[in-house]
Structure 1
Amino acid sequence: MSVYEVEIGGLRGGSADLDQYKGKAALVVNVASKCGLTPQYEGLERLQQRYADRGFTVIGVPCNQFMGQEPGTPEEIAEFCSTTYGVTFPLTEKVEVNGEGRHPLYQALVGTPDAEGHTGDIRWNFEKFVIAPDGTVAARFAPQTDPEAPEVVSAIEENLPAA
């Protein structure tokens, strides 16, 4: 199944409409505003700016499952991301990425291993998944991996749609 077929709400209601990204590459990241890794928003936004015109988007997925580090309302999350980090990439509704309430998007993602072979539960905020234009998961990266690390950039570039 294509990740782009999963239904997920937008941060401020309605649908995030992942279907609009079919044929594009994406980087899906569970995000949080009060985490030690929150400065990764800067690198995520730079990736968005660098590759947006080549058929790529970052998709931020707020999650409050890790020590309550994303407690805000949708409005607070959007305001924080915009004013603090200049985020222009789309943000979905706040979801659960682990456990019985795991959102179907993450059910589709967590079976993919990272470079160390980790599959299953999301380990912390800012775990990253590169999505190919056909909606399959192309790569997974640990939360501590910088969004602009060579291996992440390489996976994104390998999955950009043909020009």
Structure 2
Amino acid sequence: MELFPVPDVPEIREGDDLAALVSERVDLRPDDVVCVASTVVSKAEGRFADLDDFPAGPRARELAARLAELTGDEKDPRFAQAVLEESVDLVMSEPFLLTETRFGHVGVNAGIDRSNVPDHDLLLLPKRPSESAERIRAGVDADRVVVTDTCGRPFRHGQRGVAIGWAGLSASRD
């Protein structure tokens, strides 16, 4: 296996054509697998949000207060509300919010990113990452596309990349 990064990637903006961006920078072959970070897909799809978009309900205020008590750090109940709204299930609420997304991914804080959004507070995961992968696949000379997300490993150190969406290949659920 050989891995090739996409060189000279500009800051991704809403509406950017990710297939064109990859195709212009990498000479792809049909048997290649293109992996695209969910952050990149979310930015291109305009999945930006602000904390004020998520007025905190009673459950979110309760979760934020409990997490603040456990960690000693203040927690914004609007963020807890965003996590609840982006999830179909709250798998675990202590010592962090472990959730299941609408597309079956289990991860911390519904995969919401707070670090890669200079003009907003939050970046949400793609709504339908396999559909996103299919759209990218339609525009590149590769048969397979994977949308990845970086996930912590509960109760362990380190991060790992996981497939949250795919096109042109079968995947197994973890």
Higher strand share: 2
- When Rg is computed on C-alpha atoms for both structures, the one with the higher figure is 2
Same fold by TM (over 0.5)? no
Structure number with higher relative contact order (C-alpha < 8 Å, ≥ 6 residues apart): 1
TM-score using structure 2 length:
0.25
TM-score using structure 1 length:
0.26
